Amino acid sequence: MTKHICCCSLVGRGRYSDGPTQLLLCFSILFYHILPLSLFLKNKINSYLINTFQITLFWLYRILPSVRHKPFTPMSCGDLTENWNEVEPDPNQLRWKPFIIPKSSEKKVDFISGLHTVCGAGDSKSRNGIAIHMYTCNTSMTDKCFQNADGDFLIVPQQGEILITTEFGKMMVEPNEICVIQQGMRFSVDVFGETRGYILEVFGAHFELPDLGPIGANGMANPRDFQTPVAWYEDRTVATGYTVVNKYQGKLFSCQQDFSPFNVVAWHGNYTPYKYNLENFMVINCVAFDHADPSIFTVLTAKSTRPGVAIADFVIFPPRWGVADHTFRPPYYHRNCMSEFMGLIKGHYEAKEGFQPGGASLHSIMTPHGPDVDCFEKNSTAVLKPERVAEGTMAFMFESSFSMAVTKWGLDTCHRLDKSYYKCWEALKNHFNPNWKPSSK
């Protein structure tokens, strides 16, 4: 979203307005207030020869530069991995019960140690691929921050709000909101109890709004509803050492420094962290007949180098009206050229029983799936009148063109795989009647 909007924030001055006509004024105001403060300047930019309209960058004005640290050394990765060959491929429909959150009375687990990779594909070294993680934690990060050198994190809280401190400022992110921490940004996570959520990581691309095509200028996720942090800093010496954890080429490394990395007094640019409330999504839906593809529910997409093909899409299934006539309204049975990983933030998913908040499912490329028996029978005979769909619910999907491999943790050591999932389709009956004729009405 911020690719087309240049923002500016200075502590004590708030956020300056954005827009192409105000960029010069924005720079002038920022430099006027920054020059007397004796700050270090840090710049991040993408490839220098990229199309002008695709340039993303930021300028950070720091009390101390981030280069002042001890050497990085390897550290334990826990269940965080980029090894897609741990176990044999499994093309079956997979569903997980809600992932377990560790009790704080038993073990203190922060955001980093609570990261678990479920599945993924591709390679961060070649800058092409994705990984899907769960985070389950109960303790805030103290004198510690995280940096992902491999890609962007799209974070979907499911239980418990998280306070994310970034170099750009703070963001409080609650369930039913999402946030994106882009590649290379340092952040720390505070939690307020037992906390769980989902993460979609993409290598080699950044999330952006999908092309709207015939929908036009307004609809789906509107740029005005995305929020970026206001500058916040702390000028703090940490005599006992501040830990910087770096995810690099799928591994974790840590280093020590004696000051807080959140010492940015001001920033400017269009490459920022941001958050979005899913309730602001303007739903597009069928109002006559038939069932539209779920692409109409795309919030963000990370495009591949192939036109029209995404590395990953983030899709939601929000509360909406169902009004289609002469139509089986739930999602249809299908096989897909994309991998579909689904999660549930709250409520009851419309197409299936047994899919619980905090759980997940994976339907791999060309593996058939669709509504369970009860959903099919009920909706095949339902009186088609306007009705609310998914009220009080928020399900979502990470859809990818990659054929995803499930990790050993996902298939085994998490102990949450529902091995009876396939049974929800076993009782589907043959309703074919070759003598059926349409009614004369």
The pLDDT mean for the chain works out to 90
Report all structural domains of the chain as residue ranges with CATH numbers, in order of start: 279-422 (2.60.120.10)
pLDDT of residue 41: 62
Binding positions are 334, 340, 349, 369
pLDDT of residue 1: 52
Residue-wise pLDDT for 211-243, tens only, equals: 998 888 888 999 999 999 999 999 999 999 999
What residues are annotated to the active site?
291
Q: Measure the CA–CA gap between 339 and 207, rounded to whole angstroms.
A: 18
Residue-wise pLDDT for 130-188, tens only, equals: 999 999 999 999 999 999 999 999 999 999 999 999 999 999 999 999 999 999 999 99
Residue-wise pLDDT for 242-280, tens only, equals: 999 999 999 999 999 999 999 999 999 999 999 999 999
Binding positions for Fe cation are 334, 340, 369
Residue-wise pLDDT for 28-60, tens only, equals: 444 444 445 556 665 655 655 555 567 888 899
Lowest mean pLDDT among 54-63, 111-120, 199-208, 405-414: 54-63
Binding positions for homogentisate are 349, 369
pLDDT of residue 292: 86
- Please report, for residues 74, 121, 363, the alpha-carbon distance to residue 84 in angstroms, rounded to integers and kept in the order given: 20, 7, 17
Contacts of residue 156, Cβ cutoff 8 Å, sequence gap at least 6:
178, 197, 198, 199, 200, 343, 345, 396
pLDDT of residue 21: 33
pTM of the model: 0.91
pLDDT of residue 276: 98
pLDDT of residue 30: 47
Q: Measure the CA–CA gap between 119 and 361, rounded to whole angstroms.
A: 11
Q: Which of 255-281 are b and which e, b meaning 16 or more Cβ less than 10 Å from the residue's Cβ?
A: bbbebbbbbbbbbbbbbbbbbbebeeb
Residue-wise pLDDT for 372-418, tens only, equals: 999 999 888 899 999 999 999 999 999 999 999 999 999 999 999 99
pLDDT of residue 43: 62
Highest mean pLDDT (candidates 154-168, 294-308, 425-439): 154-168
pLDDT of residue 33: 47
Residue-wise pLDDT for 341-366, tens only, equals: 999 999 988 767 789 999 999 999 99
